[in-house]
Each structure stands twice: as structure tokens, then as C-alpha cells.
Amino acid sequence: MSDAPRRSTRLNKGQEEEAKKTKHADHDVEMEDTTDATKDGDKPEEKVLGVKELEAIAIADIKQHFVLFTKSAKTHEARFAVRALRSVSSLRKRLTAAVLARTIASSYTKDEEERQRLLGYLGPEALSSITSEDEATVTKVDTPEVGVYLHLLVMIYLLDQGQIEKGIELSNVTVKTVQELNRRSLDQLAAKVYFYYARFYELAGRLAEIRPTLLNAQRTATLRRDDDTQSTLINLLLRNYFHYNLYDQADKLVSKTTFPENATNNQLARYMYYLGRIKAIQLEYTESHQSLLQAVRKAPQNTVTAGFQQEANKLLIIVQLLMGEIPERSLFRQPVLRKALVPYFQITQAVRVGDLTKFQETLATHAATFNTDKNYTLILRLRHNVIKTGIRMISLSYSRISLRDVCLKLHLDSEEDAEYIVAKSIRDGVIDATIDHEKGFMRSKENVDIYSTNEPQHAFHQRIGFCLKLHNDSVKAMRFPLKVTPNQDAAELEAARDQEKTLVQEIAEADEDMDEDHDEL
Amino acid sequence: MAVPEVKKLAQALSQEYNKPNPDLAKCGQYLSQLKIALIELQYLTHDDKHNNIEELTLARDVLEIGAQWSVRTKDIPSFERYMAQLQTYYNDHPNLPASPLKYNLIGLNLLCLLSQNRISDFHTALETIDPEQLHSNPAIQHPIKLEQSLMEGSYNRVWSSRSEVPSKEYLFFIDILMDTIRNEIASCSEKAYTSLPLADAGTLLFFTNMADILNFAQERNWKVNPAEQKAYFHSDADEKINIPSEQIIKQTMFYARDMDRIV
């Protein structure tokens, strides 16, 4: 995207928190120089356009979305709605009170209740921007989707302006409307509405209040097999529980629900991150590691998602360390992550060398950071990993060493402690050794040839299984051209093909063009 | 029963419980009466109508005594029930005046989870505690340190922690914990040593007399050589590794089927 460089300079400052804080202030700037943020950024001539023209383009885009929503509702094809919602993130940067007010004015007749309500949220200046032309060419809104979409746009606008109280009011109304309307063609929109609804309450610090509403909506969405809303709501609920550290409830929610398979990548990445955190807290590191890896891989790799990438990677590093693995050095060098991961890098170093004093020092220096990341208790658990690494190093370097020396090297309290600790590491399979109690030393055993065991076969099986699964999944995901039946009109066929083409193109574009929501989470 | 009567009953209970030598059976009777009375006051349903601070505090105090009483009578399931009920009072009612017993009981709960080796529950419970209290409160610090020592294998420190308990209720769980630890040490020793003199095994396992050691050795199937006064552990080094033929056949068939699908 054309505004990528500007964003990255901001995010290079590091912390997601910082990014969040600057976001609102930053947005005003973005509003003014919308020139480089206009549609797709591939129309250089727009740079010279004035405010009026930009407004007109934005309004035209919104109107275009109206057509898509109406089409989607009439044909029962969700993909038109999805297409419109995808471009909301690029539209968002161009939303101004004037654009919204003019769109609203030209979509509702004067005496309609919704018109008054929506305009009320925009403030008095917006009203003055409505031209008589807008009011003259009212195209009546006949599908409820368009109405909900307008509500959604106003909500996004309020969020960007930081008007939380108004946003809460409006989102309450909108959620109620969506629930009352109960239309399948609203599913995609509903997911977005719930997202911003929860976001407003979070910013107001009132997350606990909406839990019952979200749970109810989640139940309804599950019954209606509404994948988009379902996945969004599960994530919102998890986030809600996490906010209050209620991991117990979060775990129960996860075990009682199934995350829809068709959920979008972004929702899946989020879900995987939450799952990884729950599992990490429950000491199921292998599962946690898998989920987090998926989260990191599924998350779009660009600067907009820096916050999410940082959070997920932080957790991933800790889980890797807890599993006894050392994360790769290159991870800490990535420009998006570098600054944010510094404290974690130091911890990793301490664990790698097995230096208990250094570990404690790092822990003390960065305690505040770890606390805000909610990773402090997890890091505390690393203490015994540091000791384990230490013991492993000793066992590798010495074939025989007295327990007293072990005790000194690891800075342990007493020789008895050292004996227990070594005995435990032997049982846990950290080292292969025996202890001679009478003479007080530990003797390492010779290394076993790994190829004489079943280990290589097991590893191969895993890899082959993965490749085969990949193949099967790709076969399943293939799309085939429409079947040609003799009585089908040639023109109709052509139209279908065209549609297919644009769809493929858009999917490709959308992969690059990130859903902006990631920035907020 | 109206609120004043319940209050009177609760006072009677706390008087009885706080005596130097409380009659536990009598406390139990009071508790069951109180629980019925509280249900009538709808202490379990928390909607806005029942946000009466006085009633809530009363219910919480009764539950707290109940939890402590369960520990005294060594009734773990009952303790867990009381703790589960108390959670709502601790977490969801920020306007309730803080209870002096709160962290003591949370610490007890942590220890209870630890003594049953429910480590993942232990960590989940840990996350709900306010970070500030986590670092400073001795009642919370004690179980946390215990868990750390347990994970590292510094059993010596666990043993000595007995003398540093924040309150006497903790001892009940620590005693349970000791049995767990003893078994842990024994299983470690089996792997780490080929043989061990009985007297040393005694010190390692915190036994003081020989009969206990011999009993324990018998329980764990150790071969004791009376002449040498040594215990021998059977090693599993001479166990033969079998070729997992059935598994290999299964896997190969699986490959064949999938390859067939591809070609």
C-alpha cells in the first residue's frame, strides 16, 4: 500500500501500546492528506484533486458498496458483501463527517428517524456540508443491509474520532437492529458490527458488561451456522475473558465451542494466538507452540499488523524456551520486531547459557515490561529451565563431576539440593547420567546413537504425513471452471467467467491488502 | 429467616470458630443452618436487585469460615466448593470491602491444587491474582516458592518450608504434599542411582527410622540386600527394543493409499 512507509516509521518506534496511542492523533493527519491513501493508490492524478472531489469519490465508493450489498441480499451470494467489506479499510482513511453526512442525506428521505439519528452523531458542522443537490437526489434505501452498513461507517468514524460514549450508544442501537432483523444476508456485516461494539466497550473499560450479550449472540450465530459472526464473537469473548485474566472461563469456552473452519485468516490467527496463550498457562507447551506458530504464520506479514506479530512472537519465544528450545537469532533481527523483543532477547540469552544470576537480573530490570505484556508469570517458570540448561551443559562437558562443583557452578543453595536437582533432571530425561551417592559425584553416560532408535523413523513419518496432508488440502481447495451445458446462453457464460476472474483478482489483492482490524488488537 | 437473625447465627458461628479449641461438629451444624438461610436470601443469584453490600459481606464471611472449617475437618471437596463460591465475591464485586482473609484463603487454595498435583489449575488460578499481591503477599508467595522448588527438584527447600507457613491451616496441605514429594524423590532415585545405602535413602526421603524405610522400599519394589544394607534399583537398560512392526505396516499402508490417490 502506498502509505506503508509512513506507517512503518511510526511502528518502528516499537511498542504496540505506543502505536495504539498515536493512532488517534495520527488519524487526523491521515484525514487531511488523503491524497496518497485514495483507492488502491494507483491513480497519481488524484494527488492534485481538491477536498470536494475526494469527498465525491468517497461517496461514490460508498454508493458502489450499497449496490454490492443490495446485490448480495437479492442473490443470496455472500461474496458481494465480503467484497464491499474488504474495501472498508481503505475507505476508513477517507471517512469524514462531510462524506458521511452527504451520503446519509442522499440515502434517507428527510423525515426518516434513522436519518435524524445518524446525523445527530456526526455533529452540527457535518449538517452544514449537506448540499441541496444531495437532498434532491435521494435514492431510497430499500434493503436493511445498506442501513446497517451506514450505521457501521458512522461507528468507525466515531471510533477514529475517539468519541467513545457516542459510539457505545450507537453500537447498542445497531446491535439491537441487527438482532431484530435476523437476515442471513446481514451475517458478514453483523460480525463487523459486533467487533466495533466490543471495541467501544473495551476503550471505555466496560468489557464485563457486554459479556452476556456476546454469549447470547454467539449461541444464535452457532445455531444459524453463521461462520463470520461466530468466529468474530468467539474471539471477542476470549479477548474479554483475557482482559480480566479469566483463563479458566476462556478455556471452558474453547472446549465447548468449535471454531468454524471457514473463518477468515485474520480471525483464525487471532484465535490461534488466544489458544496458544491458554495452553501455555496450562503448561501444555507443545500444543501452545503449534497454535502460536500458526498464529504467526497466518497473520499477514506487514507493518499494519506489527502489534499482533510482536505479541504473538513474544509469547512464542517464551513457549519455545519453556520447551527447552532456543528461538532462532534471526527472529530478533526482523525490523518490525526488533525493538519490542529486546527484553525477550536478553532472557533468551540467559536461558541459553544457563546463567541463573543473569536471568534474575534481566527479570528484575524488565519486570514492568513483562507485567504489561502479561507474560511475567510465564517467565518466572523459566527459572528451572535455566537450571536445566546449566545441568545439561555440565553433563556435556564433564564425564564426571562432583556434586559440590555442580552446586557451585549453578549457584545452588546446598549440595543436597544439587543432588535432588540432578536426580530429577535424570528422571525427566534432561541428561543421561548416574549419581554415585557414596562418593558424591555424577557420571555422564555415553551418547546413544540416535540412528539405532526409532526416532528417525518417527521424524520421517511426521514429515511424510505433513506433505500428504498438504497435497490433499490443496486438492480440496482447487476451484474448477463452471460446467458448460448446451442450453446455456453464451453471454451468460461469459459473464460468469468474468465474475470469476475479478473474484480471483480480488482475493489476490486482498491478501496483500490487510484487514486493518489487526492493528487494533 | 430475615437478615438480623442470620446475622446473629453468623456471629455465633464466628464466636465458636474463633475459640482456642472450637467444637468443629458444632460449627458444622451452624454452617449447614446458615447455608440454608443464605439460600433463602438468594446469596447465589447476583443480579442488581441483590447488590446489598451488607448481605454480601455476611455471606462472604460465612463462606470464609466454612472454607477454613473444611480444612480443619480435612474435607478437601468441601473446601473446594467453598472456594468456588467465594470466587464470585472476590472477583465480581469490586465495591465490597476487602476481606483480611482473602489472600490467605487464595494461598490455601493454591496449595490445595499443588498438593493434588493439579499444576495447570494452579497456574490458571495464579493468573487471576493481582500482580502486586503476587510479589508481596507472604500468603501467596509461599505456595509460589513451593511450586518453583518442586519444579526444580529442590526438595530440601520444600521440606524446610514447613516451618515457614503463613498460617496453621497450610500445614494440612503441606503434609499431603510431603507424601507426594516422597514418591517423587523415590522415582527420581530409581532412575539416578544404581544402588543406594539404606541409611542414605532414609535421609534423602526424610525418614527417621529404619522400619519406615524398609516399608517404603517394599512398597516401591526395591531389592534390599540386608547384608550390605543397600537398596538396588532395577535398571531398564537391558530391556530389549522391539521393532514396532505393526506400526510400520500401518504407516506404509497409509503412504501407499495416499500415493495411489496422487498418481
HEC assignment per residue over A246-314 = CHHHHHHHHHHCCCCCCCCHHHHHHHHHHHHHHHHHCCCHHHHHHHHHHHHHHCCCCHHHHHHHHHHHH
A292 confidence band (pLDDT: 50, 70, 90): very high
The partner residue sitting opposite B123, judged by closest CB among A281, A421, A427, is A281
Residues in chain B: 263
CA-based nearest residue in chain A for residue B125? A248
Dihedral of the CA atoms A349, A350, A353, A355 (nearest 10)? Answer: 160
* Chain-chain contact of B244 with A454 (C-beta, under 8 angstroms): yes
Would an 8 Å CB–CB cutoff place A380 in contact with chain B? Answer: yes
CATH class (in words) of the domain with range B3-190: mainly alpha
pLDDT at residue B46 in the model: 52
The partner residue sitting opposite B258, judged by closest CB among A244, A251, A468, is A468
The partner residue sitting opposite B127, judged by closest CB among A283, A377, A461, is A377
Domain final position from A360, A380, A400 = A380
The predicted model gives A174-197 an average pLDDT of: 85
Would an 8 Å CB–CB cutoff place A443 in contact with chain B? Answer: no
Statement to judge: residues A146 and A280 lie in one domain: no
The predicted model gives B14-21 an average pLDDT of: 72
CA-based nearest residue in chain A for residue B259? A468
Sequence-ordered list of residues with C-beta below 8 angstroms from that of B148, at least 6 positions apart, any chain: A380, A383, A384
The vertex-A77 CA angle with A72 and A82, nearest 5°, equals: 70
Statement to judge: residues A44 and A123 lie in one domain: yes
Region of residue B153 (left: phi > 0; alpha: psi -120 to 50; beta: else): left
Q: Does position A254 have pLDDT exceeding 70, yes or no? A: yes
The vertex-B262 CA angle with B261 and B263, nearest 5°, equals: 100
Which residues from B are below 8 Å from A244, CB to CB? Answer: 91
CATH number of the domain within which A437 lies:
1.10.10.10
Statement to judge: residues A280 and A351 lie in one domain: yes
Q: Looking at the 3D structure of chain A, how many domains does it have? A: 3
Residue A25 lies in a domain: yes
Most confident of A135-144, A294-303, B5-14: A294-303
B106-128: string of b/e by CB count within 10 Å (b at 16+)? Answer: bbbbbbbbbbbeeeebbbbbbbe
Q: Complex ipTM, two decimals?
A: 0.72
Domain final position from A380, A397, A417 = A380
**Average pLDDT of the residues of chain A:** 78
- The phi and psi torsions of A401 (rounded to 5 degrees) equal -145, 145
Statement to judge: residues A88 and A142 lie in one domain: yes
Q: In Å, how far are A187, A195, A241, A484, B218 from A296, measured between CA atoms?
A: 27, 21, 22, 42, 52
The residue among A287, A415, A424 with the most chain B CBs within 10 A of its CB, best to mutate, is A424
Statement to judge: residues A49 and A145 lie in one domain: yes
Region of residue B217 (left: phi > 0; alpha: psi -120 to 50; beta: else): alpha
Statement to judge: residues A305 and A399 lie in one domain: no
pLDDT at residue A484 in the model: 58
The partner residue sitting opposite A283, judged by closest CB among B92, B119, B194, is B119
Residues 238-257 of B with CB under 8 A from A: 241, 244, 248, 251, 254-255
Q: What is the pLDDT of residues B55-69, one digit of tens each?
A: 777 778 888 888 888
CA-based nearest residue in chain A for residue B263? A471
Residue A164 lies in a domain: yes
The partner residue sitting opposite A461, judged by closest CB among B127, B184, B251, is B251
Which residues from A are below 8 Å from B248, CB to CB? Answer: 457
Q: Does position A74 have pLDDT exceeding 50, yes or no? A: yes
Q: Which residues pair with A444 in a beta bridge?
A: A433
- A356/A241: higher pLDDT: A241
Residue A420 lies in a domain: yes
Statement to judge: residues A428 and A362 lie in one domain: no
Residue corresponding to grid cell 470491602: B97
Q: Does position A140 have pLDDT exceeding 90, yes or no? A: no
* Chain-chain contact of A423 with B153 (C-beta, under 8 angstroms): yes
Ranges A164-168, A290-294, B121-125, B228-232: which has the least confidence: B228-232
Sequence-ordered list of residues with C-beta below 8 angstroms from that of B195, at least 6 positions apart, any chain: B230, B231, B232, B233
* Chain-chain contact of A423 with B200 (C-beta, under 8 angstroms): no
The CA distance from B17 to the nearest CA of chain A, in Å, is: 32
pLDDT at residue A32 in the model: 35
The vertex-B195 CA angle with B193 and B196, nearest 5°, equals: 95
* Chain-chain contact of A425 with B123 (C-beta, under 8 angstroms): no
* Sign of the CA dihedral running A313, A317, A323, A325: positive
Q: Are B155 and B174 in contact (CB under 8 A)?
A: no
* Chain-chain contact of A420 with B185 (C-beta, under 8 angstroms): yes
Statement to judge: residues A32 and A167 lie in one domain: yes
Q: In Å, how far are A58, A120, A299, B230 from A101, measured between CA atoms?
A: 12, 10, 35, 90
Which residues from B are below 8 Å from A240, CB to CB? Answer: none
Tell me where in chain B the CATH 1.25.40.990 domain(s) lie: 3-190
CA-based nearest residue in chain A for residue B118? A282
The CA distance from A420 to the nearest CA of chain B, in Å, is: 6
Could you tell me which of B150, B140, B57, B138 has the C-alpha nearest to residue B96?
B57
The predicted model gives A150-164 an average pLDDT of: 86
Would an 8 Å CB–CB cutoff place A420 in contact with chain B? Answer: yes
Q: Are A423 and B191 in contact (CB under 8 A)?
A: yes
- The phi and psi torsions of A273 (rounded to 5 degrees) equal -65, -45
CA-based nearest residue in chain A for residue B130? A245
Q: Are A135 and A108 in contact (CB under 8 A)?
A: no
The predicted model gives B164-185 an average pLDDT of: 81
Would an 8 Å CB–CB cutoff place A245 in contact with chain B? Answer: yes
Residue corresponding to grid cell 447470547: A216
Which residues from A are below 8 Å from B244, CB to CB? Answer: 454
Half-sphere exposure (CA, 13 Å, Cβ side) for A139? 8
pLDDT at residue A11 in the model: 38
Statement to judge: residues A133 and A200 lie in one domain: yes
* Chain-chain contact of B124 with A281 (C-beta, under 8 angstroms): yes
Q: What is the largest CA-CA distance in chain A?
A: 100
Statement to judge: residues A371 and A411 lie in one domain: no
pLDDT at residue A235 in the model: 92
Q: What is the pLDDT of residues A293-325, one digit of tens each?
A: 989 888 887 777 888 888 899 999 999 988 878
Q: Does position A257 have pLDDT exceeding 60, yes or no? A: yes
Ranges A339-343, B104-108, B206-210: which has the least confidence: B206-210
Q: What is the pLDDT of residues A182-192, one digit of tens each?
A: 777 788 888 88
The CA distance from B27 to the nearest CA of chain A, in Å, is: 32
A237 confidence band (pLDDT: 50, 70, 90): very high
Which residues from B are below 8 Å from A283, CB to CB? Answer: 119-120, 123
pLDDT at residue A31 in the model: 36
* Chain-chain contact of A281 with B120 (C-beta, under 8 angstroms): yes
Statement to judge: residues A151 and A31 lie in one domain: yes
Sequence-ordered list of residues with C-beta below 8 angstroms from that of A451, at least 6 positions apart, any chain: none
Quote the domain boundaries for residue A25: 19-205
Domain final position from A205, A221, A244 = A205
The CA distance from B96 to the nearest CA of chain A, in Å, is: 17
Residue A492 lies in a domain: no
Would an 8 Å CB–CB cutoff place B96 in contact with chain A? Answer: no
Ranges A130-139, A159-168, A422-431, A450-459: which has the least confidence: A130-139
Residue A149's Cβ-count burial label (10 Å; 0-12, 13-18, 19+) is buried
Residue A245 lies in a domain: no
pLDDT at residue A46 in the model: 45
CA-based nearest residue in chain B for residue A377? B127
pLDDT at residue B101 in the model: 79
Q: Does position B167 have pLDDT exceeding 60, yes or no? A: yes
10 Å Cβ neighbour count for B219?
10
The C-alpha cell that represents B202 in the structure block:
532414609
Would an 8 Å CB–CB cutoff place B84 in contact with chain A? Answer: no
Would an 8 Å CB–CB cutoff place A416 in contact with chain B? Answer: yes
Q: How many interchain CB pairs under 8 A, A with B? A: 109
pLDDT at residue A95 in the model: 80
Q: Are B180 and B174 in contact (CB under 8 A)?
A: no
Residue A2 lies in a domain: no
The predicted model gives A380-404 an average pLDDT of: 85
* Chain-chain contact of A472 with B197 (C-beta, under 8 angstroms): no
Statement to judge: residues A54 and A113 lie in one domain: yes
Which residues from A are below 8 Å from B190, CB to CB? Answer: 427
Residue A41 lies in a domain: yes
